[in-house]
Chains A and B, each alone.
Chain A
Amino acid sequence: MTTQPSEIPEPPASAPLVHARGIVKSFRVDHTRIPVLKGVDLDVAAGEVLLLVGPSGSGKTTLLSVIAGILDADEGTLTVLDRDLFSMTEDEKTAFRREAMGFVFQQFNLLPTLTATENVAVPLLIRGLKKEAAFARAIEVLKTLGMGGRLTSTPSHLSGGEQQRVAIARALVTEPRLLLCDEPTANLDAETGHRVVEALCRVGKRPDRAMIIVTHDTRIFEFGDRLVHMDDGRIREVQHMNEEELR
């Protein structure tokens, strides 16, 4: 398997995978500009699981979108894996996401007519991998997430928790350096959500990979290395999690 992108430069060992400074973003609604991010500074280190928490409208998902290169910020600087995201063209950003990032969405966004294996293989097929090789790798990842018995099921035949595991497998199948998760437990009950994030961290957490999880779910805080509280477009508090704090 050679899914690790060759053109993504290895950042220096000490450098954060994500380095954001002074990120400002506003949206125009009718004739009014509504500020959503008001100067956000954030570093995310390799091997770190960072939880972005805060009330609705605090700017968590917008920040995630900016880091993903899906939204352009109005001001600030952003380097991801030592690449200046704001200087890239749309095509370059798409290629960068394809090579370096994995995504887990709140609503799973699986293709309804594809089986679990096929859904997971999609990012590899986008990269141009042969179907057989992509399926083999997809099955491998699904098995590590305990989905070996549902390989040929389509999303409509899977429970919410199973669908999210498939979505996680899809995000991990390319072994991305940066994993971005938007409310991965929002559509799941508490127990299922806990199990899904446990599986995500068990399989996805690596020393060379960072994970940013946007969440409201306090029951998954235990999986984070750092808790970043956002409110009104700003980072209000950063909490380093350890066993003592959890207790």
Chain B
Amino acid sequence: MNYVALKMLFGDRAKYLMLLAGLTFSTMLIVQQGSIFWGLMLWSQSGITNINVPIWVTDPNINQVEEVKPLADTAVTVVRSVPGVEWAMPLYKGLQRAKLEDGNYQQISLVGLDAATLIGRPGVTLEGRIEELRDPDAVALDQWAVDRLGGPERMKIGTVFEINDHRARVVAIVQTQKSFQNVPFVYTTYKRALRYTPPERRKLSYVLVKPKDGIPAEALARRIAQETGLGAYTADEFGWKTIRWVLKNTGIGVNFGTTVFLGFVVGMAIAGQTFYLFTVENLKQFGALKAIGASTGMLARMILLQSFTVGLIGYGVGIGLATAFGLTAGRGGNLPYAETWPLLVGVLIALLGICAFSSAISIRKLAKLEPGIVFR
């Protein structure tokens, strides 16, 4: 009877398209909003992912990566003394002002790396050589800084500008993930970063750590925290800590959650109502099927097949449209858009839930249907 069920579904073109449109819209809305939400969450921890080290050591009361609470310079040595530490390097991170050629100022996120190792440097260098950061006044800009500071015509290898009235010369352009605050990254050495910044008693933002081979990052982080009294987190833990802070302190979670919920409700309402109408309008036909020997179980299987078929088609089309949106609008990393498999699985489960709900109200109607309806 699968054939009959599918012919009934596809044959009633208007209802089928209505149903498909509802489920497609619902899928697209949930996937698109969910992907933008997760993209924003990834941006919120870009300060961590761009540096790409296993363990971050910082003030124990820190809430998130952009909230720097400076440490004493001795923290590096203290951390290096903890058993299991392969290396520990200082990192400066802070918001500074760059003065443009036209006299305007632009806020930048200045990152100071250990000069000897350049640990924490971005993985992709688009132009120039990042190793030249060791040269006098050298800085590396990320692709967003190039745009913000005047565009590729003005900001290129060899361009000179000022950071807090200190000379800075571009030696490399690197690729990074955009930050949540949309502030571009400018890289330099740790010592030069301290020179660029106003005098403070403490300037060390983070100590970056790698565990020795065979020592789990989680275990070493716990040990560093225990032995030094500092806050120590794996990159993953620090990323989630940052995400939790963003969710707690901004309206993003509620905002996107509401939209996703509305997508779910709209999908459920349209699919449920259309499917119910489809059943009600075919009640006599279903009654005839019952009269000629189709069991309620068989009719229920037909309904489920119809519902899940249109659901899966709507899922496919919806994801296709959302992906096309992501590829178009999010091209070049300009839009926070991260379509992940857990999201797609989650949406699939939600959609199957919508289909199950739609089927259930129709099956309930059919279960109560007396085949005697055909004699009236």
Could you tell me if B375 and A114 are in contact, using CB atoms closer than 8 angstroms? no
Could you tell me if A103 and B4 are in contact, using CB atoms closer than 8 angstroms? no
Known contacts being A70-B291, A94-B290, A122-B292, is A112 close to B1, with CB within 8 Å?
no
Could you tell me if A70 and B375 are in contact, using CB atoms closer than 8 angstroms? yes
Q: How would you classify the secondary structure of chain B's contact residues: helix, strand, loop or mixed?
A: helix
Instruction: Give Cα A49 to B293, complex, Å.
Output: 23
Partner of A103, one of B1, B10, B11, B288: B288
Interface residues of B in 337-376 (CB under 8 A from A): 370-372, 374-375
B-contact bits for A61-74, CB 8 A (1 contact / 0 none): 10011001011000
Instruction: Give Cα A131 to B290, complex, Å.
Output: 20
Instruction: Give Cα A106 to B375, complex, Å.
Output: 7
Interface CB pairs A-B, < 8 A, 25: A61-B375, A70-B372, A91-B295, A94-B294, A95-B293, A95-B295, A97-B292, A98-B294, A101-B293, A105-B291, A105-B374, A105-B375, A109-B284, A109-B288, A113-B8, A113-B12, A114-B11, A118-B4, A122-B1, A125-B1, A125-B3, A125-B4, A126-B293, A126-B298, A171-B292
Could you tell me if B371 and A113 are in contact, using CB atoms closer than 8 angstroms? no
| Residues of A within 8 A of B (CB-CB), count | 35
Could you tell me if A109 and B285 are in contact, using CB atoms closer than 8 angstroms? yes
Partner of A112, one of B4, B11, B375: B11
A-contact bits for B251-293, CB 8 A (1 contact / 0 none): 0000000000000000000000000000000101101111111
Asked whether B7 is an interface residue with its Cβ less than 8 Å from the other chain, the reply is yes
**Contacts of A111 on B, CB cut-off 8 Å?**
4, 7-8, 282, 285
Interface, chain B (partner A; CB < 8 A): 1, 3-4, 7-8, 10-12, 282, 284-285, 287-295, 298, 370-372, 374-375
**Contacts of B290 on A, CB cut-off 8 Å?**
94
Asked whether A54 is an interface residue with its Cβ less than 8 Å from the other chain, the reply is no
**Contacts of A125 on B, CB cut-off 8 Å?**
1, 3-4
Instruction: Give Cα A131 to B12, complex, Å.
Output: 21
Instruction: Give Cα A134 to B241, complex, Å.
Output: 63
Could you tell me if A103 and B374 are in contact, using CB atoms closer than 8 angstroms? yes
Could you tell me if B3 and A71 are in contact, using CB atoms closer than 8 angstroms? no
Could you tell me if B4 and A71 are in contact, using CB atoms closer than 8 angstroms? no
Asked whether A170 is an interface residue with its Cβ less than 8 Å from the other chain, the reply is yes
Could you tell me if A98 and B293 are in contact, using CB atoms closer than 8 angstroms? yes
Minimum CB–CB distance for A122 against chain B, Å: 6
Partner of B11, one of A101, A113, A126: A113
**Contacts of A97 on B, CB cut-off 8 Å?**
291-293
Instruction: Give Cα A134 to B374, complex, Å.
Output: 24
Asked whether A107 is an interface residue with its Cβ less than 8 Å from the other chain, the reply is yes
**Contacts of B292 on A, CB cut-off 8 Å?**
97-98, 101-103, 122-123, 126, 170-171
Of all chain A residues, the one with the shortest Cβ separation from B370 is A70
